[in-house]
Amino acid sequence: MSENPPPPPADLRAWRWLLGAFALLMAGYFTLPFDWLGDDRPLLSWLVFAGALVGLTWLMLAKIAGVLQGTAKRPVAWLLFLICLAVTIFSATYYVLGAHKPEFTGLETRLDALYFTVVTLATVGYGDITPSGQAARLVVVLQIGYNFVFLAAAAGTASRTIRGNVEQRIRRKG
């Protein structure tokens, strides 16, 4: 009789979960119709964007608090997923805004919007895509502020957690 193989280590399961969650997030981003948002329904568009940011902020703060209290499960995977979710929310918002040509110069596709979000997050600013309308500039300012406050806190918390885990493993071996 053959025995069932042991389950993968918790770290590997967390990374598999993160990879799967990221794949689903990107599949949703590139396939969901966003045409029900935009110029025809500006109030709905802003409410969806604000609701997504509020929900994301609540999740991020809850995870960070869980890490600080020592109660969070899979904190690094969750924090990295929430950072990817933030990128996706801003990308979708830029894509919807980009459908209104006066808002952006050079933003035509979902990949353009994702690229612009990552370039803004990384503070690279190549200049090939630029916000030219007031709504687009407002969202960029919000993203930059969000990056500084929440994404930096999430990345710092994830980094500290990883460092703490490595230090624990070194102490156990030594």
pLDDT digits (tens, 9 = 90+) for 66-101: 888 888 888 888 888 999 999 999 999 999 999 887
Q: What is the pLDDT of residue 1?
A: 52
Q: What is the pLDDT of residue 26?
A: 97
pLDDT digits (tens, 9 = 90+) for 38-49: 888 999 999 999
Name the CATH architecture for the domain at 10-25+60-173.
Orthogonal Bundle (1.10)
The residue among 151 and 8 whose pLDDT is bigger is 151
Q: Is the pLDDT of residue 157 over 70?
A: yes
The residue among 162 and 31 whose pLDDT is bigger is 31
Q: Where are the domains of the chain?
A: 10-25+60-173
pLDDT digits (tens, 9 = 90+) for 101-152: 789 999 999 999 999 999 999 989 899 999 999 999 999 999 999 988 888 8
Give whole-number Cα distances, 136 to 44, 117, 141, 143, in Å: 16, 12, 9, 10
pLDDT band for position 168 (cuts 50, 70, 90): confident
CB 82 within 8 A of CB 56: yes
Q: How many CB atoms lie within 10 A of CB 12?
A: 10
Q: Is the pLDDT of residue 54 over 90?
A: yes
What CA–CA distance (Å, rounded) separates 74 from 87? 20
- Which of 50-59, 73-82, 148-157 holds the top average pLDDT? 50-59
Residue 50 φ then ψ, to 5°: -65, -45
The residue among 153 and 57 whose pLDDT is bigger is 57
User: pTM of the full predicted structure?
Assistant: 0.85
